Amino acid sequence: MLNQKVLDEIVTKVNELLAQSPVKDVEKNLRIMLSGIFTRMDLVTRDEFDVQQEVLKRTREKLTLLETRIAELETAAKSDTVPPETLDDLSETE
């Protein structure tokens, strides 16, 4: 059976050949090219996307609450009375 030293030497030689092969250059050039394309596309990271998604979620929740309050105020205005709890809500936003 082959000696461990001989096997290690074979692995080293194969790695040296692969490192010097044109495949390594192609991989390097491909990475550089893709990096340039992604930079021009103005992509965002996953973290940035997740943060903006959370901001959008909170904004939608606030919008829903505001739409509900407006509907209540419009209903109250039609009946010429403003519910006291609505007045309390208005003072909190000012």
pTM value is 0.47
Query: What's residue 87's pLDDT?
Result: 56
Q: How far apart are CA 26 and CA 43, in angstroms?
A: 24
* 49 and 93 housed in the same domain: yes
Which structural domain range is residue 1 located in? 1-43
* 50 and 31 housed in the same domain: no
* 49 and 91 housed in the same domain: yes
Query: What's residue 85's pLDDT?
Result: 62
Count other Cβ atoms within 10 Å, centred on residue 76. 14
Query: What's residue 7's pLDDT?
Result: 73
3-class SS string, the chain:
CCCHHHHHHHHHHHHHHHHHCHHHHHHHHHHHHHHHHHHHCCCCCHHHHHHHHHHHHHHHHHHHHHHHHHHHHHHHHHCCCCCHHHHHHHHHHC
Could you report the average pLDDT of every consecutive run of 10 residues in the chain (94 residues)?
70 77 76 81 88 98 97 89 59 54
Query: What's residue 30's pLDDT?
Result: 80
